[in-house]
Amino acid sequence: MYLPSNYENFPLWLTIDVEELEDANFGITPKGPLDIDYADIIDRWIELCAKHDIRSTAFVLGSFAQKYPDAVRKLHAHGHEIACHGLVHELVYTLPFELWKEQTRQAKAILEDITGAEVVGYRSPSWSLPFAKSYYEALAKLGFRYSSSYFPFKTYMYGNTIDKKHPFDIYTDAGNITEIPVPKVVLPFSGGFYLRVLPLWLTKRLVRALTQKEIKPIIYTHPYELLPNLFWRFRKNVQPDKAYILSFFTTGDVRRRIDAIISELKESR
């Protein structure tokens, strides 16, 4: 089994899917520039992690890396693992298999060229990797050692029905791949929409419920979610769909929430 050092060395696995707001799969059509300073957001992420002496795994979209290579280099220079989030933020199961493989190969090469380091981790956009051996075999052939693409909760867009909480190996003819699922407690709670909408006291309680069972919590977020009142801020700049309208009700300060969760975990050790 292969587990990245940033997973093994800290009380929780802190991950960030590094993409632009327009890349999200919940229907954003900008009416004009959204004017998000991603370099500044990445700097603030690095500061938050440094405050707690913790390093994250950054699953970086290839298109983001091409646009903001200095931000990716800075993450790498500060000890954050650079992993692959695909080339563009398309749902994997909607793509022809060979096209997905080629895009993933390209994204991995872009990240390795920017950082000068091998990329061994993969997370599919919106947890959309089919749970099928052929996909994991392709990842192994491309040189990946692990994936974090298994979401143990079925939604209209992504997810699986079997509740897996611990990392597990998938054996293929091209080699083994470790899959690191995001654990839930009845419902998901530790990232994305769920981390924004649930009250902080409940999220902390669910984190404790996992650690008491010796299950490692996994936080996942996105750069744009670290902006306070994100969706109100850009409400005049986008043409929303129903899923985006729902997001107006999730305006919590995710950066503050992650800060509080890490602080409490450290105090309880």
CB-based contacts of 75, cutoff 8 Å, min separation 6: 18, 42, 45, 46, 58, 60, 82
- pTM for this entry: 0.93
What are the average pLDDT values for consecutive 10-residue runs of the chain, which has 269 residues? 95 96 70 80 97 97 98 98 96 97 98 98 97 97 98 90 95 97 94 88 95 96 84 60 50 84 84
pLDDT of residue 243: 47
Report the distance separating Cα 147 and Cα 159, nearest Å: 14
Instruction: Tell me the residue range of the domain where 211 lies.
Output: 5-268
Q: Give the strand pairing for 57-60 and 29-30.
A: unpaired
User: How many structural domains are present in the chain?
Assistant: 1
pLDDT of residue 197: 84
Instruction: Calculate the alpha carbon distances from 28 to 181, 226, 244 in Å.
Output: 27, 18, 7
Q: Which CATH number covers residue 53? A: 3.20.20.370
Retrieve residue 104's tokens.
């993933």
